[in-house]
Structure 1
Amino acid sequence: MKQTGSPEARLSVSRPHPWFLLSMILTGIAAISSASILIRLTDAPPVTVATYRVTLAALLIAPWCAFRNRSTPLHWNGRVVALTLSSGAFLALHFIFWISSLSLTSVASSATLVSTAPLFVALFSFLFLNEKPSKKLQFGIFCAAAGSALLAGHDYSFSAEALTGDLLAVLGAIMASGYLIAGRFARQYLGLCAYTASAYGTAALILLPASLLTETPLSGFSGKTYFFLLLLALIPQLIGHTAFNWTLRFLSPTRVAILVLGEPLGATVLAYLFLAETLTIGKFAGLAILGSGILVSAMAMPSGKDSFDE
């Protein structure tokens, strides 16, 4: 993989034990899987949910970062700042495009199309980072995409409005790929705390004005809704996204994007357990294929091909 910046400025971090890396991945998948359940329990517009999610996460992580950064070296330069701000902007745009698509197209179409993020990560990594995915990784991506489509179901529409929503969902997937690729490079120069606080803060600074410009309400909700908005910031964002941002220091963005596809897998199981949603044969098959795709992709490349050279 091509590098950016001077090698001297990069953080020197030893590679974690594989079992610890696996535990962080599983923690991230479990945490982000709770997002759909928590969103279902809130009584607020989608953009409000996204705004609270990243804003509260940025505010909650800031004090810890202020303390941690006293002893952690920071390697800020123009390129690192640009990468970090770009990552936060991509995250905000991902939420804006994807959430907007939900009001125009079916949930099935939106969920399927936004799950194409690994395809764009692999494509952009090949075009701009000179990374060619192996045949095994390509097969894993195909299985993961097919499994996501089966999980989403067959509720599709071809009206002009629905097609606009589909396009927004694809844009959401592209923004998610940008978020992961920019984060991959930024994490080579910044510790987890500095990077996440900056990226989440940037996303919040974009989503807050967007909420005001679109006259999206940010107050007047019930105590229960505020409680679930707080849980969204704590669990899917602070724990889930931060766990995957940690793995970006050691894994390629393509593999991280595929691992993030564990979200619909986990969300389907949680919906079955806590919301009494039916687990049909099609969904069961989708779970099996998606899980297989994630497993194949995770094992597709030796670990040495993921990390930058230390």
Structure 2
Amino acid sequence: MNRKTPPIPVSLLMIIGIVAISFSSIFIKWSTAPVSVQGMYRLLFTSLLMLPFARSYSGAVFVLRKKDWIMLVSSGVMLALHFLLWMGSLKYTSVASSTMIMALEPVFIMLGAYFLFREKTALSALLAMSIAIAGVMFIGWGDVGISADNLKGDLLSIGGTAAVAVHMLIGQKVVVRMPSYLYSLIVFISASIVFAIYNLVMGIPFFAYPPREWGIFLLLAVVPTVFGHILFNWLLQYVSATTVSMNILGEPVGASILAYLLLGEQLTGLQWAGSMLVMSGLAAYLYSGRKKSKEKIVSVLSNAS
């Protein structure tokens, strides 16, 4: 299939996107606000930035069925749960451990696709998945040697990865009936409302934060979301979904480097070994010759994290 050529080289845009999403965990670490507040304003500000460009998609809203709205809201709930758990994990474990576990998104999606849709996977992909999972076990083992809190952070990251996998699988079913831009906007708004309800119920203040925190909320919306995930979404019209999905490998590497430079975080020997296994397993998985249906699943990965 012939693809259009973007006005800016794809390689440069991919680098910009990877650097942008790598800053997500750094901003979260810098903030002292509750993660539910960070998640709420990240999604709310992103939605406000997207709204001016949504007018051309307004007609598609009126043809959505009741079932579509249920799935959209469900996707928003799972996205909010993903942010709550994954962002929460960064309060306990290192950036490298958390983002390396989050890189297992395609593996979780593959498992979900099998159990929900009975989609089969090649043996080579299963072997690659086993290598990546073994790497996560090494990371967890290394974190146990540091503190129980680090292991708690790893478990939260695993829960966040499972939640975003469900979010992606729901999106796979809905996005075929509506523009991806509109899908993302509705899901972001839904997730921000879920966070607002959560904060209200838990008695977490909405506005009692210094200017520095508001700056971080805005940075979370602009840098990793607009210049990261929305940019990757836009790139799907120029490159294959498999190429875009390789940002999964770029984020933990970029985030770990930034965490070392900006936060002074370092990895233990076991964590390094686990990280190398995760990266090797994911690289093998993404290049293992999956079926076209698997590529379609991965194509919606750029809507989250």
Task: State which drifts further: 294-303 or 86-95.
Answer: 294-303
Does residue 203 of structure 2 align to residue 221 of structure 1?
no
Structure 1 residue identity aligned to 2:214: Y
**2:130 alignment partner in structure 1:** 142
Task: State which drifts further: 277-286 or 169-178.
Answer: 277-286
Distance 1:74 1:303 in 2: 34
Q: Assess, with a 3 A threshold, how the Cα gap between structure 1 residues 194 and 178 changes in structure 2: closer, same or farther.
A: same
> CA contact under 8 A between 2:18 and 2:254: conserved in structure 1?
yes
**1:32 alignment partner in structure 2:** 21
Q: Assess, with a 3 A threshold, how the Cα gap between structure 1 residues 128 and 149 changes in structure 2: closer, same or farther.
A: same
**1:182 alignment partner in structure 2:** 170
Does residue 190 of structure 2 align to residue 202 of structure 1?
yes
> CA contact under 8 A between 2:132 and 2:282: conserved in structure 1?
yes
Distance 1:198 1:233 in 2: 16
Give the secondary-structure state (helix, strand or coil) at the position aligned to 2:176. Answer: coil
Q: Assess, with a 3 A threshold, how the Cα gap between structure 1 residues 151 and 161 changes in structure 2: closer, same or farther.
A: closer
**2:117 alignment partner in structure 1:** 129
> CA contact under 8 A between 1:112 and 1:149: conserved in structure 2?
no
Distance 1:92 1:244 in 2: 20
Aligned residues: 290
> CA contact under 8 A between 1:90 and 1:178: conserved in structure 2?
yes
Task: State which drifts further: 299-308 or 80-89.
Answer: 299-308
Structure 1 residue identity aligned to 2:120: K
Match of 1:51 among 40, 63, 88: 40
The one-character-per-residue Cα deviations of 1:230-265 (angstroms, maximum 9, x if unpaired) are 11111222333334556889749xx95x85364323
Give the secondary-structure state (helix, strand or coil) at the position aligned to 1:69. Answer: helix
**Match runs of 1:94-109 below 5 Å:** 94-100=82-88
TM-score normalised by the chain length of structure 1: 0.74
TM-score normalised by the chain length of structure 2: 0.75
Does residue 155 of structure 2 align to residue 154 of structure 1?
no
Distance 1:164 1:268 in 2: 19
Distance 2:14 2:70 in 1: 27
**2:300 alignment partner in structure 1:** none
How far apart are residue 294 of structure 1 and its match? 2.8
Match of 1:64 among 50, 53, 57: 53
Distance 1:291 1:111 in 2: 11
Structure 2 residue identity aligned to 1:57: T
Which structure 2 residue ranges, 5 or more long, are not aligned? 298-305
Distance 2:12 2:132 in 1: 21
> CA contact under 8 A between 1:113 and 1:166: conserved in structure 2?
yes
Structure 2 residue identity aligned to 1:49: Q
Q: Assess, with a 3 A threshold, how the Cα gap between structure 1 residues 129 and 74 changes in structure 2: closer, same or farther.
A: farther
Give the secondary-structure state (helix, strand or coil) at the position aligned to 2:142. Answer: coil
> CA contact under 8 A between 1:65 and 1:194: conserved in structure 2?
yes
**2:64 alignment partner in structure 1:** 76
How far apart are residue 101 of structure 1 and its match? 5.7
Does residue 220 of structure 2 align to residue 232 of structure 1?
yes
Q: Assess, with a 3 A threshold, how the Cα gap between structure 1 residues 92 and 161 changes in structure 2: closer, same or farther.
A: same
Give the secondary-structure state (helix, strand or coil) at the position aligned to 1:154. Answer: helix
Distance 2:31 2:235 in 1: 30
Structure 1 residue identity aligned to 2:251: E
How far apart are residue 173 of structure 1 and its match? 2.7
Match of 1:265 among 253, 259, 274: 253
Distance 2:102 2:71 in 1: 23
Does residue 229 of structure 2 align to residue 241 of structure 1?
yes
Task: State which drifts further: 171-180 or 69-78.
Answer: 69-78
> CA contact under 8 A between 1:74 and 1:191: conserved in structure 2?
no
How far apart are residue 124 of structure 1 and its match? 1.7
How far apart are residue 296 of structure 1 and its match? 1.6
Does residue 274 of structure 2 align to residue 289 of structure 1?
no
> CA contact under 8 A between 2:125 and 2:290: conserved in structure 1?
no
